[in-house]
Structure 1
Amino acid sequence: MRQMVLVGFLQAQNCTTLASAWRHPDAHSDFTTAAYYQRIGQVLEAGKFQLAFFDDRLAMPDIYGGNPAEVVANGVRVVKIDPVAAMMAMGFGTRYLGLGSTASTTYYEPFDVARRFQTVDHMLGGRAAWNVVTSVNDAEAQNMGRIEHMEHDARYDRADEFMEIVHSCWDGWEDGALVVDKKSGLFADPGKVHRLEYQGKYLKSSGTFTVPRSPQGHPVVIQAGSSNRGKTFSARWAETVFVAYEDLEAGKRQYTDLKAEVARLGRDPDRLSVNTIAYPVVAETKAEAEDKMALIDSLYKEVDGLSLLSEALNYDFKKKSLDEAFSAEELEGMSGMQAMRDRVMRIAGRNPTVRDFLEVTRRGRPREAGVGSGKEVADRLEQWFTDGACDGFVVAGTHMPGTFEDFVRFVTPELQRRGLFRSDYTGATLRENLGLPVPKRGSWRLA
C-alpha cells in the first residue's frame, strides 16, 4: 500500500516559518543550542518522520523600510545560524531521521557544496539531503559581496550548470574505489577515481573530488521552485519536491503536470515525491484546537507579513500604503518569488494592493491551517494524499517543539491506524526510508 512521506519543516533561527512563533508562550527560546535541535529531532524520529529539513536565507528580512531596526525589535526571522551546523547537531542526537539543509547555487561554489554535503552524508551514515535554492533578494546578494540579485531565469540557468558540476563531483569516486590495504600499500584504486573538467557559460571546474561515495551514494536532492522555470528545474534535478498548493483541485492539476514533466525527461516519476505544506493545529478535541489557533492568530503583527513579503518579492512594501495599487512596472520589478506575485495578481483580478498581498499570501500567518482533533487533521491529509495531490506533507510548526509533539501524539497514530503512514523505519539511510535507490554513477544525465 502506498504510504505518505512526512517532513518536518524547520528554520535554524529564532522562530519557525511563522515570524510570530517565538512569541508563543510555549515556544522554547534556546534556539542557539544543540539541545534545542536535538529535542526536535527526537520528537520527529519518535513519529517516524522520514526527514527534517532546514530552510534558509542568507540575510535577515530587512528590505522592509531599508532598516533592520523594526524587524530586529520584532524578531522577524532575524537570527539565522548556519543550518548545516544545526542539522549536524540534530543528526548526532538521532539515529534514523533524515536531515536536509539549504545551500544556494547563486552564492556558493559547486565544489564546496558537493564536499560539504557529501561529508555530512558520511558523518550521518547516509541520512543527508541538500535543498537546492537560487536565493531570492538583493539583501542576500549584498551580504555575499554582490550589488544585486541575479535575474530570475538566469539564476536557474546558472543552477543547472551548478548541478552538473556537483553531480560530477559526487561521481568522482566509484563504489569500491577505497581499498585501504596496509599490506599491499594500496590506498585507493586510481582507475576508479576520476578527474572533472567542466566549462559552462556561468561556471567552470577543474580537478579531482576529495570525498568518496557515501553510504547512500550521495545526498538526496530537494527542490521547491514554484515558478514555471523553477518547476522545470525541479523536474530535471529533484528527488523530492516541496510545494504549496492553493487548494486541492490546483494541487491535483499541478501534481499531475509535474509528474508528467519528470516522465517526459526520461526520469521515473515514481522516484520523485511531491510534498505539500501543512500547518496542523491539533489537540484532543476540535474546540481545544480552535482555542490554540486563536492564540496563534493573536501573536501575528502586520510587520511580520510586510517584512516577509518584502523579503520574498525583493521589493520594499513600506513604499506603498495598504490600499494603494501597484503599477505594472512595480509588479514587473518584483524579482524574487515570482509564482507568489503571479498568484496574487491572478486572484486579485487587477493590479493588487499591499492589502491584497497580505490577504492572499497570508505571509507570516499559517496558510490553510488544519485545525482539529487528530482524526480531523488526518482526514484532511488523507484526502489530499488519496485524491492524487501529493505524496506527503511538509509539516510546518506554529511554535517549537509543541507543534511536532502534538502532531506525533494525535495525528501520526491515526495515520498509522489507517495504513497511510509507516509504523517503523525501513532502513538506516534516507534513501531507504524514501524508497529511493542508491544512484548509479552518471544516472543523473538525461538520455
Structure 2
Amino acid sequence: MRDAKMALGLSMRYLGYHAAGWRQADSTPLGGSQFAHFAALAKRAEEICLDMLFLADGIGVRVRDEPPGAFAQSSQIADLEPTTLLSALSAITNHIGLVSTASTTYNEPFHVARKFASLDRISGGRAGWNMVTSWSQPEAWNFGRESHLDHETRYDRAVEFVDVVKGLWDSWGDGALVVNRETGQFLDPSKLHVLGHRGKHFAVRGPLDVPRSPQGRPVLVQAGASDAGIALAAPSAEVVYSIAHDIDSAKAYATRLRNAVSAAGRDPHGVRIMSGITPFVGRTESEARARYDALNALIPDTLGLSYLYQQLGDLSGYPLDGPVPDPVNPMVRSMGESMVKLARANGWSIRELARVTAAGFGSHVMIGSPSQIVDEMESWFQSGAVDGFNLCLPVLPQDLALFADLIWPELRRRGLVKERYVGTTLRDNLGLPQPVSRYGDYGATA
C-alpha cells in the first residue's frame, strides 16, 4: 500500500468533456464563456480538496467542419483566455492550484515567463504552466503562417523555449529586494540575474521583471505521450498528464517516462503522473450506464466523427461500420495511436470509436457505481501506474457535484485522498521539491 495520497485535478474547459453535454436539459450552454460558471466550479473543487484546476487551451478555433456540418454542432468554439480567468479565480480561492496551457509555438518565452510568474505571485504560489506545442492549422493562420511548423521543429523550439523560461524565473535570488528605507537601497543588483540567452530559436536578455513567488517558480506541467513529448518532459516537467485506457498501458507509459526522467539526471519519482479519466457515475452500474447512453444519444454522427478526424486524419474513404484504420497524418500522434489501439482491443468500428471518443474527448471513460469506479482508480494508483488523476468530467457542473457526492466519499473512506490541504502552495500540496536556481542563490544547493 502507498502512503501517499492521490493527486487530483479538475480539467474544466468548456462545459465538460462530453461532446453533447450542452444539449442536456439542465445544462447552461453558454457557461463556458461566463465567469460565474468557473467561479462555482473552483469553489466546489476547493471544498473537496482537489489539488488543482486545469485549463487546456488552443489559440484558435480548432473545431473543423469535417465531416461537413460538424462545426455548427460543436459547443467547443466559445472560450476564455485561461491566464486571465485563473487570475480572477485566484481571488476567490485560497488553496487550489491554478494550471493553464500556453503554447511554445505561438508565444515568446518572456511572455510566458512573465504571465505565469505574475499568476504565481497573485495566487500566493499556486500557479502551474502546461507546456505544449501547437499543432492545428487554424492556430497557424492566426499567427501569420500558411501552415503550422513541422513536428520536429515544434519540439526543438519547445525544448529551448522551456529552458529560457526557467532561466527567466531564476532571475531573482534570495535577498534581491533589500528595501532599506534608511539607506535608500531598494535592490541588491548582484542578486538580479541577466539571462543573456542566445540560441537557435531565441535571443532573450532578461532579467524578468516579476519577483519570485513563495513556491520558487510555477510548477511545470506537460501532456504528451510521443517520444518527442517525453523528451520535452524529461528535463523539466513536474506533473505529466497522460492518456491511457487500461492499466497495462498506464504502467508502460509510467516506465517510459520515469526512465527518461532518470536519464535526464532527475529523481524519477519527483514527477506526478496524472491520467485523464471521464467517469460516468450512478448509485448503481445500471444507473450510470443509462446516463452514459442517454448522453451519447445526443451526439450527432457528424459531430462524433469530427473527433476522429482531429486525431486520426481524414477517414472519408472508410466505411463507418468498418474497422478503424491506422492514423492518416494525425495532428496529435500519441492520441491517435492510443485511440487505434483502444478500438482494436475492443473490436470497435469507426462509428463506435467516434461515440466513445466524443463521450470523453479521448480520455479513459469509466462507467459504474462509486465502488466500481474507485476500485479501478485505486488499482491504477496502488500499482504505481499513476500518481493521481486529471478529472475530465462529462458535463459541468453536474458531474462535479456527482463526483463530490458519490465518488469522493468512497475515496475518502479508503484513505486514498487528503481531507485538508497540507501547505499553502501547489508544490506543497503535490509533495514536489523546491526548485533550485541555476545561479545557486535560492532553493536547496544543487
TM-score scaled by structure 1?
A: 0.90
The letter of the residue matching 1:59 is G
Measure, in 2, the Cα distance between the counterparts of 1:319 and 1:190.
Answer: 64
Residue equivalent to 2:358: 364
Residue equivalent to 1:156: 155
Looking at structure 2, the residues matched to 262 and 409 of structure 1 have their Cα atoms a distance apart, in angstroms, of 37
Q: Distance in 2 between matches of 1:256 and 1:402?
A: 35
Name the CA shift for 1:189/1:243 in 2 (closer, same or farther; >3 Å).
Answer: same
Shift of 1:139: 1.3
* Residues 419, 182 of structure 1: alpha-carbon distance in 2 compared, 3 angstrom cutoff: same
**Inter-partner Cα distance in structure 2 for 1:358 and 1:149:** 31
Does the alignment pair 1:410 with 2:411?
no
1:49 maps to: 50
1:126 Cα offset (Å): 0.6
1:191-206 → structure 2 map (5 Å cutoff): 191-206=190-205
Partner of 1:80: 79
What is the Cα deviation at residue 399 of structure 1? 0.6
For residues 196 and 432 of structure 1, the distance between their equivalents in structure 2, rounded to whole angstroms, comes to: 28
Which of 327, 334, 341 in structure 2 is aligned with 1:339? 334
Contact 1:9 1:397 survives alignment (8 Å) = yes
Q: CA 1:347 to 1:371, structure 2 compared with 1: closer, same or farther past 3 Å? A: closer
SS in 1 for 2:25: coil
Q: Which shows bigger deviation, 144-153 or 158-167? A: 144-153
Q: Quote the residue 1:6 is aligned against.
A: 8
Deviation at 1:361, TM superposition (A): 8.9
Contact preservation (8 Å) 1:61, 1:308: no
Aligned-pair identity in percent equals 34
Query: What's the counterpart of residue 40 of structure 2?
Result: 39
The root-mean-square deviation of aligned C-alpha atoms, in Å, is: 2.6
Matches within 5 A, 1:93-112: 93-112=92-111
Counterpart CA distance in 2 for 1:193 and 1:132 is 25
Alpha-carbon distance in structure 2 between the residues aligned to 1:167 and 1:341: 31
Report what 1:277 is aligned to: 276
SS in 2 for 1:362: helix
Give the aligned length: 433
Residue 18 (structure 1) aligns with: 18
Residues 97-130 of structure 1: per-residue CA shift (max 9 Å, x gap): 1010110000000000000000001111111111
What secondary structure does 1:195 align onto? coil
8 Å CA contact retained: 2:251, 2:385: yes
The yes-or-no answer on 1:399 pairing with 2:399 is no
Any residues of structure 2 matched to 1:254-265 within 5 Å, and which? 254-265=253-264
Please list every run of 5 or more consecutive structure 1 residues that lacks an aligned counterpart in the other structure: none
Task: Give the 3-state SS of the residue equivalent to 1:245 in structure 2.
Answer: coil
Q: Is the 8 A contact 1:222 1:241 kept in 2?
A: yes
The aligned residue for residue 434 of structure 2 is: 438
- C-alpha contact 1:136 1:311 (8 A) present in aligned 2: no
Preserved contact between residue 325 and residue 340 of structure 2 (Cα < 8 Å): no
Identify the residue that residue 217 of structure 2 maps to in structure 1.
218
Contact 1:240 1:274 in 2 (8 A): yes
Partner of 2:122: 123
4+ long deviations beyond 6 Å: 323-328
Contact 1:281 1:293 in 2 (8 A): yes
Distance in 2 of aligned mates of 1:83 and 1:319:
38
Q: Which runs of 5+ in 2 are unaligned?
A: none
Partner of 1:429: 425
Match of 2:370 in 1: 374
Query: Is contact 2:9-2:391 (8 Å) kept?
Result: yes
Cα deviation, residue 317, structure 1: 4.9
CA–CA distance in structure 2, aligned partners of residues 369 and 327 of structure 1: 21
* Paired residues of 2:22 and 2:75 also in contact (CA < 8 A): no
Q: Deviations over 1:124-175 (max 9, x none)?
A: 1111111111012111111122111111122111000001110010001112
For residues 346 and 252 of structure 1, the distance between their equivalents in structure 2, rounded to whole angstroms, comes to: 15
Q: Secondary structure at the match of 1:279?
A: strand
How many Å separate the matches in 2 of 1:219 and 1:427?
Answer: 15
Cα deviation code 1:227-248 (max 9, x no counterpart): 1111121122210000011311
Rounded Cα–Cα distance in structure 1 between residues aligned with 2:242 and 2:355: 14
Q: 1:181 deviation in Å?
A: 2.2
TM-score by length of 2: 0.90
3-state SS of 2:281 partner: strand
On the 8 A contact 1:64/1:318 being kept in 2, the answer is no
Distance 1:418 1:324 in 2: 43
CA contact (8 A) 2:343 2:349 kept: no
Tell me the alpha carbon deviations over residues 370-408 of structure 1, each in whole angstroms, 9 at most, x when there is no partner.
222222211111011112211101111111111111111
Q: Distance in 2 between matches of 1:268 and 1:71?
A: 45
Q: Distance in 2 between matches of 1:309 and 1:143?
A: 23
